[in-house]
Amino acid sequence: MPTIYVTRKIPDIGLAMLRGKGFTLDVSEKDGVLTKEELLGALRKRSYDGVLCLLTDTINAETFAAVPSAKIFANYAVGFNNIDVAEAKKRGVTITNTPGALTNTVAEHAMALIMAVATRTAEGDRLMRSGKWGGWGPMQLLGADLKGKTLGVLGAGRIGSRLAFHCQKGFEMNVIYYDVKQNTEFEKETGAKFCATPEEVLKEADVVSVHVPLLDSTKHLINAERLKLMKKTAYLVNTSRGPVVDEAALVEALKSGTIAGAGLDVYESEPKTAPGLTECENAVLTPHIASATETTRGEMARLAAENLIAFFDGKTPPNLVQ
Ligand code: NAD
């Protein structure tokens, strides 16, 4: 039966499914991300048939070479920018991910960030805890309403379109979007207007939410120049991947009032943040937890296990990347 290396403990449901099918699992005992040396060292220990890896693991030519027996890397994430997919293809290694399971959860987290930054929830929370609140005031911590405002989605795939659904149906917001592919189904569902360029979205939207995958073409999609196109009253929300936004440029924009605020779940060099970001009162920051609900993390574990089980049954895994 297949022997799988699991790079970090994930919810039991996935591990139990694999063990139930007779798989042998070696699960990393480290309570944290394996360093490159630790990962390569662990993979070289045994002729693993497959690897269950995380978005925090860099999977490239060196990794594949450390475990040439492994014919599948099942990523416990929908994003797979941590994996050199072209290299996997060259070596005939199968890659899978966990799409769908986290769509609504991440969209809800993006909604939470939008609401937190617009209603100044985190600032209010900090004020309460500081013991410095002097009581109700007519001009205190004034935020912005969402009703009737325009949401601009960059990347209207699964998560982007779900967020638009929440914003349009729940908050009566208008929706505009830019994507490399026009999505007419999404337009019908939310009344979204397609914009031919990201610039158009940035100029028009009151809230810009980013949902593109991290690719060479999307690195620093939001840069200093594009931040300047946004309204001074607008908010930027990023739950996609950190490098999609030039974080240093964003800090500058937050400090100078180029935009009103930002809600971020992802960062360019996690777990670090760009100098000055944590001092920006107008930024709401969460530690890459957009998919972190009990149900969704369990569902992701189930999908990753399903992919491995299908592969070793000689079937096409349900969530094949390549
Ligand atoms: P998806 O593939 O369904 O949607 C991505 C969309 O982006 C697609 O419609 C695609 O056409 C579009 N796109 C690709 N390149 C583009 C470009 N250059 N410009 C504009 N649009 C472009 O993916 P999804 O399931 O919606 O997930 C989106 C991303 O969210 C993932 O790739 C992942 O990196 C990130 N994510 C983050 C978390 C988190 O915990 N914060 C959780 C899940 C996913």
- Taking only the tens place, the pLDDT of each residue in 266-286 is 999 999 999 999 999 999 999
**Which listed residue (91, 158, 220, 288) is catalytic?**
288
Task: Give the atom of ligand 1 at the shortest distance from the alpha carbon of 213.
Answer: 32
The answer to whether residue 149 sits within a structural domain is yes
**Which listed residue (200, 220, 270, 302) is catalytic?**
270
Helix (H) or strand (E) holding 111: helix 103-119
Q: Interior CA angle at 71 toward 70 and 75, to 5°? A: 85
The answer to whether residue 320 sits within a structural domain is no
Q: Are 212 and 238 contacting, i.e. CB atoms less than 8 angstroms apart?
A: no
**Which listed residue (241, 268, 297, 306) is catalytic?**
241
Instruction: List the structure tokens of 111.
Output: 């909604």
220 annotated active-site: no
Does a cis peptide bond (omega within 30 degrees of 0) precede residue 271? yes
Can you tell me the distance from the alpha carbon of 307 to that of 253, in angstroms, rounded to the nearest whole number?
42
Q: Are 276 and 298 contacting, i.e. CB atoms less than 8 angstroms apart?
A: no
Examine the domain organization and report whether 130 and 158 are in the same domain.
yes
**Residues enclosing ligand 1, CB less than 6 A?**
78-79, 99, 102-103, 106, 154-160, 178-181, 211-215, 217-218, 239-241, 265-266, 288, 290-291
Q: Are 277 and 283 contacting, i.e. CB atoms less than 8 angstroms apart?
A: yes
270 annotated active-site: yes
Examine the domain organization and report whether 124 and 272 are in the same domain.
yes
The answer to whether residue 124 sits within a structural domain is yes
Mean pLDDT of 313-322: 98
Domain count across the chain? 2
Mean pLDDT of 2-11: 98
The answer to whether residue 317 sits within a structural domain is no
Residue 254 Cα to ligand 1 midpoint, Å, equals: 24
The answer to whether residue 319 sits within a structural domain is no
The answer to whether residue 117 sits within a structural domain is yes
Task: Give the atom of ligand 1 at the shortest distance from the alpha carbon of 214.
Answer: 34
pLDDT at 35: 97
Examine the domain organization and report whether 111 and 193 are in the same domain.
yes
The answer to whether residue 318 sits within a structural domain is no
Q: What is the pLDDT of residues 16-42, one digit of tens each?
A: 999 999 999 999 999 999 999 999 999
Examine the domain organization and report whether 133 and 279 are in the same domain.
yes
Can you tell me the distance from the alpha carbon of 234 to that of 246, in angstroms, rounded to the nearest whole number?
17
Average pLDDT value for the chain? 98
Identify the CA nearest to 243 among candidates 37, 64, 55: 55
Examine the domain organization and report whether 36 and 69 are in the same domain.
yes
Residue ranges making up the domain that contains 196? 103-285
Can you tell me the distance from the alpha carbon of 247 to that of 266, in angstroms, rounded to the nearest whole number?
10
Examine the domain organization and report whether 80 and 173 are in the same domain.
no
Examine the domain organization and report whether 44 and 145 are in the same domain.
no
Q: What is the pLDDT of residues 189-212, one digit of tens each?
A: 999 999 999 999 999 999 999 999
Residue 296 Cα to ligand 1 midpoint, Å, equals: 17
Total number of residues shown for the chain: 322
Examine the domain organization and report whether 142 and 264 are in the same domain.
yes
Q: What is the CATH number for 119?
A: 3.40.50.720
Give the residue whose CA is nearest to atom 40 of ligand 1.
290
State pTM to two decimals.
0.96
Examine the domain organization and report whether 165 and 80 are in the same domain.
no
In three-state secondary structure terms, 62 is: helix
Distances (CA, A) of 160 to 6, 32, 51: 30, 30, 30
Distances (CA, A) of 134 to 123, 139, 140, 299: 14, 13, 10, 45
Task: Give the atom of ligand 1 at the shortest distance from the alpha carbon of 181.
Answer: 11
Q: In what order do the strands lie in the sheet with 261-264?
A: 193-194, 174-178, 150-154, 207-210, 235-238, 261-264, 283-285
Distances (CA, A) of 171 to 109, 114, 126, 190: 15, 11, 26, 12
The answer to whether residue 321 sits within a structural domain is no
Residue 240 Cα to ligand 1 midpoint, Å, equals: 6
226 annotated active-site: no
Identify the CA nearest to 99 among candidates 322, 275, 321: 321
Examine the domain organization and report whether 195 and 53 are in the same domain.
no
Q: Could you tell which of 240, 264, 265, 267 is best to mutate to test the pocket of ligand 1, judged by most ligand atoms within 8 Å of the CB? A: 240
Confidence of residue 141 (pLDDT cuts 50, 70, 90): very high
Examine the domain organization and report whether 50 and 191 are in the same domain.
no
Examine the domain organization and report whether 34 and 121 are in the same domain.
no
Task: Give the atom of ligand 1 at the shortest distance from the alpha carbon of 290.
Answer: 40
